[in-house]
Amino acid sequence: MRIVFIGPPGAGKGTQAVRLSEHLGVPHLSTGELLREACRLKTAIGVQASEYMESGRLVPDDVVNQLVFQRVAEPDCGDGYVMDGFPRTVPQAEVFDDFLSLKGTPLNVAIEFRVREQDLRDRLASRGRHDDVVEVVQFRLSEYDAVTTPLLNYYQGRGILRTINGIGTLEEVSERIHSVIHAITGRRV
Ligand code: AMP
């Protein structure tokens, strides 16, 4: 199954993406992690991405697209993947759809994690990562609203958007995700 997770920073989608990918036996692809790795290794993509990431801004589409297209073409993605953090914008989603339809492997579902903004602030404040400082958090939350919310309409229009409540225990949220997949495929996961 080819699944994308959409949700604001701090919504818990990274943790759930890892759990689901292990459960389904497909890779977990996080663009944040792929980009951080590229920065560490100082690859051409990493060098281009680092200044954007440090200030919490989105890395330009062509840089991220390149990274994702290379990654999903690798053999371990043949049975699908759980994509976390991409697409983040409508243009990314459009280009990704074109790329996938050329390969004959369209997305099966886009799962939106819905969490109240105050809960997000609390979660991010307790995470304490370098890109989680207050100003950067604020910027990323407003950017999510401005840039990513239209993405939800886009996937809604494509008929593959499903929204779940992101608040709850790990097990509760996982169970909601499994129900979504069950409803789509008819398969219990
Ligand atoms: P994340 O770990 O998903 O929160 O991503 C960390 C940072 O990587 C973000 O703040 C962006 O600078 C960058 N990033 C990750 N995914 C994308 C994407 N799809 N488009 C643009 N920038 C991204």
- What tokens were used for 27? 């890779």
**Which residues make Cβ contacts (< 8 Å) with residue 140, sequence separation at least 6?**
8, 9, 56, 131
Residue 135 is predicted with a pLDDT of 81
- What tokens were used for 79? 């049975």
pTM equals: 0.90
Give distance in angstroms: CA of 137 to centre of ligand 1. 12
Residue 39 is predicted with a pLDDT of 96
Please give the Cα distance from 14 to 10 (Å, whole number): 9
pLDDT in tens, 67-112: 999 999 999 999 999 999 999 999 999 999 999 999 999 999 999 9
Please give the Cα distance from 122 to 113 (Å, whole number): 16
As for ligand 1, residues whose beta carbon falls within 6 Å of it are 9, 31-32, 35, 52-53, 56-59, 64, 85-88, 92, 140
> Which of the pair, 171 or 121, is modelled with greater confidence?
171
pLDDT in tens, 48-78: 999 999 887 889 999 999 999 999 999 999 9
